[in-house]
Structure 1
């Protein structure tokens, strides 16, 4: 019989909830992740809390064979399992004779090193030391009457810039005020309830006093008085001092000693410049990362019940409902859930269900509840299981894999597939499945995410890492699990929809129809660059909420523009626009004035549909209509009016939600993974970032029945960045680095970006 602690909504949900190994579904401990169990006030480890159920057929019939294959997979087997298409070694035509190339080459300052790459691959990226942004680049190309390439990079950049602006607008108009009032109302309710608390809940009240006072102080910038006395006030001061220092510190809260990574409180992304958003960021990091651990685990996986943590979680919900602040929580949670996704922890909605299941409806019920009964009920439920390790935790390589605690968070950070990948390919989650041993791979590679999201071209570049750490079996399982997700998963949130669009860039269904330049190995690397730059922008925009991991026909008439033919990508972008419209409709129904957001996404979807139609026609060799010609010629227009005022117009400009920022230079950076130590245990505080730099020019040649033509357009520049001592780079710091000179690129990018 297979032991499973509760019924899952789907077999795939079971696997993702409890980890990669099939054994993960056989024990409540497995996959809950990593934490120190020391410091709990009370304990218990009665494994009879687990339920005895029949194994799910999907696990035994579908997933188990994949696991067995993974457990024996060599690097050669892995590469054979994920082949790349039949790449061309070189284009068959003379790219150097392309119509329009001399003018393009002079404009973008091509040198002999660029000519060599262009002649072989039919395209080349040319770094632009003065590149500002995509709109300016398009305007410059049109102004100089050059044949323009409409790139997927530019579309994804517009998506990022607009999503970031929309999220900021929602935060400032709705979420900041709701969180501020929620915390104040909960704290006032705690003060009101203190006199009537039953014996035994005083410690939880003190813990929550500290928790809420810290959150309110971070939120407002003004000291929030504690309501339980001087001891709580001293602890608040200690925590706030650590928050200012932005370094890890050992603290004890909710009955457990933890090493808290206060470096996460540094405002980054679009929260850096605005004082209101700075404070909101700090408060939400505190609320999203400060957990109430209800079940912890010893080194050997033995569960330890922490009644103090569970009491605090119960009381938190009683404060929410008693004060009426649960409505505010619900409004903010709904926005985050629709934009980013589900929590990776137990939250207030889950606690409402758990309270009903256990019959705890008041402080008196809680004080009278039996430890063993509460522990068994929690252990037999899905509540509090984590899939991503996101705190500083230490473990010996010879010890069993760490088991993450069951936790409650008021505004818990969100589960995302890319963080799940990083979590499972780094210490101490990653294993060589052939031997079952943990491997000390402390840092992920950006290519791990690219491969897991469907790009087989990432696999050969990972061979050195696979040879060193032998984790190809883990990547195989991760890829299988992600590919197995049904369409409703990708529609669950805007974040997932964005990832689906990135995945579509690796769709090879139309490979044989593509222009020769797009069938070279170098183009596959260009696609990696596009995907990863957009992924970095996605992580930048959502870093507050995402849980970070810790270790043709006969027609020959062509316009002076060409759309990068990636039909599957444009189809996904149309769908993403629909998701944005649906999200706006929900917010409008809830009383929020976001009609402009709905209008934006409707226009976005329409533009993506037009680009998709043109891309399909390019691959099929069909002639474009006059309207489509006119569309391609009208991407960006600029007019000087009045005293030097610049007016922007065109369909590309319309893809940018905030017109005021159309001409800003905005390279971005986001920290995505933290490694406290190196492989031998030395403290290093490594922080792995994904970043974008200055846009580059992409010169691409296309052969048609009239000959070879050249086009030029803007593309993104991806940069992996590693810092030490828990340094988390903000956009302004990264921008200064970029403005100071060229930044290192990944080695795999050299195939199409000659330096």
Structure 2
């Protein structure tokens, strides 16, 4: 096997393919939460009743209260906050006296701690008020105080087949013979108990674990509550000082003072969104919500005096507690105000006030990333259970259209480069050699003889080293008098840009191509090439023809005699024949029509009181294609240049009439889908971020298209392993899909077109590539066609998910797994497509994503650029609550430059380039928080 094939086989095997559907990674299903009432509500108790303890169902709406009657006996009372169900009592068995209760995190049962037959017991009961069965799971002669269940399961062992056994753990205070309490834990079936925090002599070791579950020593400890992440346990000592213990993956690793011991007395619990704390003080009115590590304190429920620690409802919008009134006790639900209250994982995204404000107003935010590829973000969360340091709570992913735009760009450019390398570049040099011979013999005095002699020398830099014209071409700088043509030429135009800058063969081709097609015609009459022998015209056709599948039709006749089809939208076709049919897509038409041309009809002259408009804006394209945001951002330009408004409107009408079926313009049409004004915005925030993100994504995708075609695109211008105890199991994050199904479909269709191009081009791709599973090799053309088909299928799969989300339908476990593993699709296919640009077809580190293209102007130049990927944090619905998800998106830049820039120069200046003014307000200056809000 050839080395490059062996490398490809190894890398593809390591990468793996898309995840197989139908796994049980996302079982059991996520618990849906009923929304809490917006207004206060209460339930009065009878005069002879006392409330011992309360807790709110993790599914919301239902409160369980342990009620003791004066005449004896206890009942478990179920109260529905929204009043949709009648209050229901469930009598507890005689002889059992409960003192604490806690809901199971799945909501189907409760745990009760109390006394029975002289023993301390913990029992479980079904949440159904009609059920009478009480099952004891734990007994102890020592007094039990408080009871809570950790919100995340633990891997407590292995079954006979070697699969992990998962169980939730109960935590409670257990009184020792010396009267001091320690925090103990048992599994939900009452087994595998250990001391979590307590005296040094009370720690437990297990034969199947290398270390103890905990060695956190304390003279006295009682549990207070868990952080919703499950890895932080709040506890108090005998002096009512508060502490927080941390579970480091597979054991309790240590403890520290909570907020530097700045809180004293009462109790402290964590807000359901994990951002802050709720402190209750006995005898005080209401509670205090504490945020920003104690810097922000907000009194809540000021009109209520709770008898004990109130319980948060799961969507974080209120508290349930017991209140004593003149007529007796009552259960009361009191709404509270907490930033991002119902965003379940707000603590992983928005601990800083500035970020919270952005998310609350906009529904999300953007962050700059120091990453080189879009797919890299989807490898940034640590989900594995066997990683060094143990698992950590992870942020869910958002599958964006940007992923598939970048895959499309990689596939398009890879096929484009392969076509150039194997077809167009050899044909070009054949044409140069033939034309050199022709003019040496037939017209040695023609300036074209000097042009083709120069190009022939350029192909062999050694033989042309003493040629002053070749030296100027190779230098590719500034303006100089041409020794060959005797006129000034802008040799700076020859600076290799786009993918041509990375490879010497392509650099030389870029310079030769541009010299022949752009510089030479300034000093050599093009008409002299029209009557060349048929063999030369055929050689030119072999050079030009491979490009036609990738670019739009030209607006100029071709000097070699094959004019092609003039695009219908081209209102001002070029009169002079060209040596190459430079692409004239609808974007070129927009950029041309929105700048000043003195010889155009007056209605089309873009000028105003301040003078003519010299450079267009990328926003012109988006506005012409229907972006309401782009139109609003151009408001000042529309006022400065009154004719710009009707010109843009007329361009929109021309686009609606159709642009043809070529691949280039189909890409432009797909961008119109990205910018469509009728797409429903997410029902989160004010929609402004969503619109700005869509505009930025489309413009960046357009910049990648122009980057790939920078040489063949006409640039317009205005004129003038086992190591611990039990792994804590964090639920695999259930992500989301960008709610833009039409763009996913438009991109999938572009992949279909690329696949058709490959299938119809028998000689385009030569060589072999590893199969999807990496087990063998297959013909390159077949392999690439299959990858293009698979990527289109993946785009349509996410399209279907976006449609279900829009309809308010739930996603399946297989859907969530596809989101969870989206990096496999993104990276795997991206590297395959990028390998097409490699001469050896080998998988290697691709160039960083930032790229730049000159799209208009003749100095200054309008530059359209893609920067590093950005992170998009967005609030999405989540089973009755909300959550934040993160996805990778493009960054886009547009600016005027006095000189042409290649990718290397752009990457050097990227750190100093400001975001466009219309995207900057949505960009956070902060990175993601470290996950510890205390």
Distance apart, 1:606 and its partner CA: 1.2
SS of 1:407's equivalent in the other structure is: coil
Contact 2:373 2:868 survives alignment (8 Å): yes
- Partners of 2:646 and 2:584 in 1: CA distance: 23
TM-aligned CA distance change 1:261 to 1:485, over 3 Å: farther
* Residue 542 of structure 1, aligned match among 709, 717, 720: 709
Partner of residue 554, structure 2: 343
Map 1:244-255 onto structure 2 (within 5 A). 244=475, 246-248=477-479
TM-aligned CA distance change 1:503 to 1:447, over 3 Å: same
SS of 2:850's equivalent in the other structure is: coil
2:650 counterpart of 1:467: no
TM-aligned CA distance change 1:558 to 1:483, over 3 Å: farther
Map 1:16-165 onto structure 2 (within 5 A). 95=340, 97-105=342-350, 111-128=352-369, 130-141=370-381, 143=383, 145-165=394-414
**Structure 2: any 5+ residue segments left out of the alignment?**
1-336, 384-391, 719-730, 767-779, 836-842, 926-934
- Partners of 2:626 and 2:460 in 1: CA distance: 44
Q: Deviations over 1:309-332 (max 9, x none)?
A: 4641323x42xx23xx54443343
- Partners of 1:272 and 1:589 in 2: CA distance: 26
Partner of residue 897, structure 2: 723
- Partners of 1:591 and 1:667 in 2: CA distance: 27
Q: Deviations over 1:603-656 (max 9, x none)?
A: 2211111111111111112233343233222212xxxxxxxxxxxx44553244
- Partners of 1:600 and 1:634 in 2: CA distance: 17
- Partners of 2:741 and 2:686 in 1: CA distance: 15
- Partners of 1:753 and 1:632 in 2: CA distance: 24
2:829 counterpart of 1:654: yes
TM-aligned CA distance change 1:601 to 1:745, over 3 Å: same
Distance apart, 1:699 and its partner CA: 0.8
Distance apart, 1:178 and its partner CA: 1.7
Q: Deviations over 1:270-328 (max 9, x none)?
A: 111211010011112123325759xxxxxxxxxxxx9x94641323x42xx23xx5444
- Partners of 1:338 and 1:435 in 2: CA distance: 34
- Partners of 2:799 and 2:578 in 1: CA distance: 42
Q: Deviations over 1:121-170 (max 9, x none)?
A: 11111223x23322221101354632111112222222223322332232
Partner of residue 530, structure 2: 314
TM-aligned CA distance change 1:158 to 1:253, over 3 Å: same
2:801 counterpart of 1:614: yes
- Partners of 1:502 and 1:93 in 2: CA distance: 39
Distance apart, 1:437 and its partner CA: 6.4
Partner of residue 333, structure 1: 544
Q: Report the more deviating stretch, 475-484 or 155-164.
A: 155-164
SS of 2:923's equivalent in the other structure is: coil
- Partners of 1:435 and 1:272 in 2: CA distance: 37
- Partners of 2:741 and 2:685 in 1: CA distance: 13
Superposition CA RMSD, Å: 3.6
2:774 counterpart of 1:598: no
TM-aligned CA distance change 1:634 to 1:250, over 3 Å: same
Contact 1:386 1:407 survives alignment (8 Å): no
TM-aligned CA distance change 1:118 to 1:417, over 3 Å: same
TM-aligned CA distance change 1:519 to 1:155, over 3 Å: farther
Contact 2:700 2:892 survives alignment (8 Å): yes
Map 1:689-708 onto structure 2 (within 5 A). 689-708=863-882
Contact 2:716 2:857 survives alignment (8 Å): yes
TM-aligned CA distance change 1:191 to 1:384, over 3 Å: farther
Contact 1:207 1:312 survives alignment (8 Å): no
TM-aligned CA distance change 1:223 to 1:383, over 3 Å: farther
- Partners of 2:690 and 2:381 in 1: CA distance: 22
Partner of residue 670, structure 1: 853
**Structure 1: any 5+ residue segments left out of the alignment?**
1-91, 195-201, 226-232, 294-305, 354-381, 389-402, 552-556, 637-648, 676-684
Distance apart, 1:434 and its partner CA: 9.1
Partner of residue 427, structure 2: 178
Contact 1:518 1:524 survives alignment (8 Å): no
- Partners of 1:148 and 1:618 in 2: CA distance: 15
Partner of residue 237, structure 2: none
Partner of residue 499, structure 1: 668
Contact 2:423 2:546 survives alignment (8 Å): no
Map 1:707-746 onto structure 2 (within 5 A). 707-724=881-898, 727-738=899-910, 741-746=911-916
- Partners of 2:488 and 2:342 in 1: CA distance: 62
TM-aligned CA distance change 1:263 to 1:510, over 3 Å: same
Partner of residue 216, structure 1: 456
- TM-score, with normalisation over the residues of structure 2? 0.53
Structure with greater contact order relative to length (CA < 8 Å, sep ≥ 6): 1
Contact 2:638 2:645 survives alignment (8 Å): yes
- Partners of 1:241 and 1:258 in 2: CA distance: 13
- Partners of 2:912 and 2:716 in 1: CA distance: 28
Which has the larger Rg? 2
- Partners of 2:667 and 2:344 in 1: CA distance: 36
- TM-score, with normalisation over the residues of structure 1? 0.65
* Residue 447 of structure 2, aligned match among 201, 207, 219: 207
Residue-pair matches, total: 543
Distance apart, 1:93 and its partner CA: 11
Map 1:440-455 onto structure 2 (within 5 A). 440-455=612-627
TM-aligned CA distance change 1:728 to 1:314, over 3 Å: same
Q: Deviations over 1:437-486 (max 9, x none)?
A: 68511111221121122212111111111221222122122222122215
Contact 1:98 1:710 survives alignment (8 Å): yes
Distance apart, 1:179 and its partner CA: 1.1
SS of 1:141's equivalent in the other structure is: coil
- Partners of 2:487 and 2:592 in 1: CA distance: 19
- Partners of 2:568 and 2:400 in 1: CA distance: 42
SS of 2:762's equivalent in the other structure is: helix
